[in-house]
Chains A and B, each alone.
Chain A
Amino acid sequence: MFSDELWRALFNAPFSASVSLVDALVVVVLILVLMWRAFVHARAGGVDAPGSERILASTLFVVLTIVFIARMAAIIT
């Protein structure tokens, strides 16, 4: 199903596609936004920390998944 090149790209190659200035800034801005949301939630909710933890962990997960998929796509294509 996979060609040799694709197989090698998927399982052996490091992420060779370099991070551009725009990529890095977008990720930094996304991370700042999610931290701001978690911070505001924690401040509003007082000791309701689990809600903020959820925001922080799940949004960071979404951001990094998007980065991961984008880099994988860059390698495959």
Chain B
Amino acid sequence: MDITAGAPGIIREKTQRFNFIDQFRGLVVILMLLDHSSYFLNAAWQHIDPFDPLFGNWGQFIMRYVSYLCAPGFLMMNGAMVWWAYSRRTAKGISDWNARWHLIKRGLFLVLLQLTWVNSSWGGFSEFKPQYFGIIGCIGISMILLTLFIDTKWQVRLGIGLAIYLIHPFLLKIPYDSGNVWLRDLMQTFIDSGHFNKYPVLPWLAMSALGSVMAEGWLKVWSSDKEKIKYSLIIGVGAIALATIIRMARGFGNIFPFSNLGSYSFFMDQKYPPSLYHSLWFFGCVVLVISAIIAINKKAPKLLIALDIVGIVPLFFYCVHIALLGIFSKRIGLFYHQGTVLETLLGFVIMFLIMLPLTKWFGGVKRRSKNFLIRMI
């Protein structure tokens, strides 16, 4: 389906949109809303340490675990978008540098957004906190770095992504003094996770690179939905099988130990920064969910209407829902860290009902607007 969505900056024309990509992005930010509603409203977050999480019951576990799909999903879509935007622009005769510069600008915008709006919105804008980094900044830097080799063949990008995954566990062994702020910030920007940044660029750049490889299949090579579903299933199941083998071997690629196949601990390997098992597992999950979305789109597209609305402006949805939760829950103190699973789910539904019309409205504004900032969001 074609819809009018002019690209930011130079070009204004009818741009091809891929419904399943929008719908998947919509699903990812809705899962983020669930996780963030839990963070603000759920009493369990009084004692959950995201670096080493413990769960009192199945509800708490599943509410946290489903959101583990978000970061890999967002980074893969980032890679896919970078590949698609670059290919489309160069195919239309835009110079190589201009095609890259457009993506670099967007990456820089995301970094700026992280340091300003996103960081402060967590506390309901009670203070300006530019001294932290996070997922949006990580996506921004990954976008800039991916731009450097986005013109290479998919085999090269796949090789770079896998090579980073293989090297990263060894890089994590580099000792550093976390008291040295410059060294800490440098390590936590690219390799390790900590107080400064939970999403280091290197492993997530690898996820972006894999996303750009998958985009070549989804958006170019596999022309029919049937092909998209078939190859996505093969790749997704293959990645999950490989991740399971790595997990069951209990050696390289694992960080947290686990009890047995299918237990909480089997699924919960380290996320900050991600282990090789975690990355491969969720790469497979993202590919499988996308194949499921393509399949549902064919049979029952109405089921995905809400995802469509949200997925067109996911960054707006992300920025606004955190700000609203931050202001009402943390700053004003409405149910902050007080609810159970049920109350958290109720809060999530209420937030979703607030966000849906807002997102639909902004989608329209963005479609009509020529403003640089609005086009960026």
Q: Do chains A and B stick together as partners?
A: no
Residues of chain A touching chain B, judged by Cβ–Cβ distance below 8 Å, are none
